[in-house]
Chain A
Amino acid sequence: DVKVTQSSRYLVKRTGEKVFLECVQDMDHENMFWYRQDPGLGLRLIYFSYDVKMKEKGDIPEGYSVSREKKERFSLILESASTNQTSMYLCASSRDAYEQYFGPGTRLTVT
């Protein structure tokens, strides 16, 4: 059974702080993704990675960066958190270009 975990379910940070969101998958998947979920906007892709040390920009990469030093771990970094980054963040992984398995999400509030 595929398991995707995220480091925090809820996180509260102050404006300007550096924020790290961690995602770990245990199925040796090559592909990993970070999405942001906002009401009425669906799931928007921030960044994705096909392999260790590889990253590709998604639809809304501004204000974010990522790191993938190990195959099982994909980190999302907010260099200087802003209030408009308050959102639900979902990580996902996949073996191929098809089914993606999601983590439980991190609800981030920036005050």
Chain B
Amino acid sequence: GENVEQHPSTLSVQEGDSAVIKCTYSDSASNYFPWYKQELGKRPQLIIDIRSNVGEKKDQRIAVTLNKTAKHFSLHITETQPEDSAVYFCAASGSGGKLIFGQGTELSVKP
């Protein structure tokens, strides 16, 4: 069935370091890959997304890379700041317009 695996489940970095979160997906028909950030007590919000016709997308300190052959994609955050601390979810588009979410990564940025 459709599945998205996300690693690591927790990640702790020092302020200023980079953070990388990785996801793999099972459905070769997936063509849309969003990343959501959920701060404590708040709703998930889209921070960046990528479609299958590009291999990389960047927005300031955040970038996402996609390898369709290997069916994996990654979120890269550079120069991390304490306000980057949150739970991050990756997702892949599934059949019928659904999104299949990964299990989440709790990122902690220590000042």
Contacts and interface: CB of A to CB of B under 8 A. Distances in A.
Contacts of B101: 35, 42-44
B43 A102 contact: yes
Interface residues of A, number: 25
Interface in A88-106: 90, 94, 96-100, 102-105
A42 B44 contact: no
Interface residues of B, number: 24
A40 B9 contact: yes
Contact of B89 (A43, A48, A56): A43
Contact of B49 (A4, A45, A96, A98): A98
Interface string B35-75: 01000001111100100000000000000000000000000
Interface of A: 4, 31, 33, 35, 40-45, 48, 50, 56, 58, 90, 94, 96-100, 102-105
